[in-house]
Amino acid sequence: MTRPVRIGNVSGFYGDRPEAAREMVETGDVDVVCGDYLAELTMLILAKAQAREGGVGWARTFLSQVEQILGTCVRRGIRIVANAGGLDPAGCAAAVREVAGRLGIDARVAHVEGDDLRGDLGAVVPPVTGDPVSANAYLGGWGITAALAAGADVVVTGRVTDAALVSGPAAWWHGWGPGDLDALAGAVVAGHVIECGPQATGGNYPFLDEITDRRYPGFPIAEVAADGSSVITKPDGSGGLVSVGTVTAQLLYEIGPPAYPGPDVTTHFDTVRLEPAGEHRVAIGGVRGTPPPPTLKVALNDDAGHRNTMTLVLTGLDVEAKAAHAEQLLFGIIDRSAFDEVDVRLLRFDHPDAAGNAEATAHLRITVKGRDRRTVGRAFSNATMQLALGGYAGFHTTTPPTDASAFGVYRPAAVPRAAVTHTVVLPDGTRHVVPDPPETAAVPGPGPRPPGGAPRGDGPGAGATRRVPLGTVAGARSGDKGGDANIGVWARDDAAHAWLDAYLTPERVRELLGAEAAGLGVAVHRLPNLRAVNVVVHGLLGDGVASSTRPDPQAKGLGEYLRSRLVDVPVELLG
């Protein structure tokens, strides 16, 4: 097959738009539909679901989508590939077969397993202490490739990389082998763009003025060619926007240094080039790949106990004094030492002489963690409510007393490839071990960043400036990478990029993010082909999203906060 393969994403997370699969099959003219249901937090959620009596360790919403599209897909030869198997891909595959049987459809279902390491953690580095509720190596796309080559209509996987949902089908379609590193890297980039669904087609996009079609965005399609180059698009007539900007935003989402290691290839994001290729079409090319690392990434989740949060509203005058008084009274009623961790944050939204009651309020957000559910739960929230008549003037809360919820701690790790048995179970039930790549190599570190403080090349000089929000000249998209936060920042033209590239040093980022980033490690990676830099703030999210006590635990709004900060921008960039 020499024409590009059209792969449409129909899920960016567990709980995404239910109609997306049906809409893609009806209007997308695709060869493969893929769905990404797994995140670090999702693995913890699935582990807790699996542990309950009668619970399952896979994404139930996938089954509903399969029921909508399976008949059409089998009839038209559209393949379905999804990581919805979570912690039990075999169980999920069996459930798909049950649906097919009930609908009278002869569907060939395969699954990929071997990522679940809970039975043997001895080779994991650093050594694992305790008993994690989930422990999964990130597998690549070759199990998917083998399943499709064996005629599977549906391929269910556990924890493969998000991009493997595209690189695996692309390798099957074009007949690539493990040595086709540039082609694989190109497919990884295409997979990274479409893995989060409508985030590539106008969703969460900062420049709203560019999106003229404000309907819910259509889900993205990657047309992957035989050389690994691709075009990103969406179904004809669907909402949203596909532009160099929307694709750039998603390329920068939740990445680290430019050398992006994966199980099949290390993809060099600083080689990616984007070009408009027609209305709602963006071409991706120039991507280079090198051999993958000798280890696989591992995500561990520990059951860390229980947590609870109560938010007290403070109104009008003396906000800081009221907050201090409330904290003192509360931990006089209930002993602070009863909790493993206490996090108290005063969130100021109030304005002097406010025009309305709501504009005069601040929040005192108190989060407690501990092993004893009863203490963390009603004992804590009921103690908070005892301040209702004996606390500060104007006391009220944002919620009634709340119960505790379980939370987990995320730990990144690695495992030698030899300790993982990547296995594909074909539609006829036969099992095949997927071999490791013939060559591996250490991931190169980022090169030295040129000194900041002065523009490079032909960028604007040190002339007149105006103090405006950074977002006047730059877009941003942010997210979580375990306990780290990532902020991709890009400019819309070369002149603005020359200034941005020089301006956003680690020191400047730390200054703009304020007290929360003080003392944290900040890395700024250059991506000149994308007119962008990628910022990683190490440790901002603590032990990961399930444990973080930030009001924005996944750092989704961090990029928009950075864009809101006032900076001195050369007047010549402001038009």
Rounded Cα–Cα distance for residues 65 and 5 (Å): 22
Helix (H, G, I), strand (E, B) or coil at 277: coil
Can you say whether the dihedral through the CA atoms of 240, 473, 252, 224 is positive or negative? positive
Domain boundaries, the chain: 5-299+413-433, 308-409, 465-573
Side-chain half-sphere exposure of 399, counting CA atoms within 13 A: 12
Helix (H, G, I), strand (E, B) or coil at 326: helix
Rounded Cα–Cα distance for residues 259 and 287 (Å): 11
User: What pLDDT is stored for residue 260 in this prediction?
Assistant: 97
Q: List Cβ neighbours of 499 (8 Å cut-off, separation of 6 or more).
A: 455, 459, 460, 473, 491, 569, 570, 573
Rounded Cα–Cα distance for residues 480 and 468 (Å): 27
Cis peptide before 18 (omega within 30 of 0): no
Q: Cα angle vertex 471, ends 465, 474, to 5°?
A: 90
Q: List Cβ neighbours of 391 (8 Å cut-off, separation of 6 or more).
A: 325, 326, 329
Q: List Cβ neighbours of 417 (8 Å cut-off, separation of 6 or more).
A: 294, 295, 296, 436, 440
Asked if residue 364 lies in contact with residue 344, where contact means CB atoms within 8 angstroms, the answer is yes
User: What pLDDT is stored for residue 41 in this prediction?
Assistant: 87
Rounded Cα–Cα distance for residues 377 and 289 (Å): 50
Buried b (16+ CB within 10 A) or exposed e, 1-37: eeebbbbbbbbbbbebbeebbebbbebbebbbbbbbb
User: What pLDDT is stored for residue 545 in this prediction?
Assistant: 87
User: What pLDDT is stored for residue 1 in this prediction?
Assistant: 57
pTM score, whole prediction: 0.93
Rounded Cα–Cα distance for residues 235 and 228 (Å): 21
User: What pLDDT is stored for residue 447 in this prediction?
Assistant: 65
Asked if residue 51 lies in contact with residue 238, where contact means CB atoms within 8 angstroms, the answer is no
Strand ranges (DSSP E) for 258-318? Answer: 259-261, 266-268, 273-276, 282-285, 288-290, 295-315
Residue 120, φ and ψ in degrees, nearest 5: -155, 100
Q: Write out the two tokens for 266.
A: 């290390």
Helix axes 60-76, 20-27, angle to 10 degrees: 10
Please list the rounded mean pLDDT of every run of 10 residues in the chain (575 residues): 92 96 97 96 93 92 97 98 98 98 98 96 95 97 98 98 98 98 98 98 97 96 98 97 98 96 98 98 98 97 95 98 98 97 96 96 98 97 97 97 94 97 97 97 76 44 86 97 95 96 97 93 97 97 90 95 97 92
Q: Cα angle vertex 569, ends 566, 570, to 5°?
A: 165
83 bridge partner residues: none
Q: List Cβ neighbours of 439 (8 Å cut-off, separation of 6 or more).
A: 178, 179, 291
> Which H or E run includes 366?
strand 361-370
- C-alpha torsion 257→200→282→493, nearest 10: -60
- Count CB atoms within 10 A of the CB of residue 109: 24
Q: Which CATH number fits domain 308-409: 3.40.50.300, 3.30.70.2520, 3.40.50.150, 3.20.20.70?
A: 3.30.70.2520
Residue 111, φ and ψ in degrees, nearest 5: -145, 160
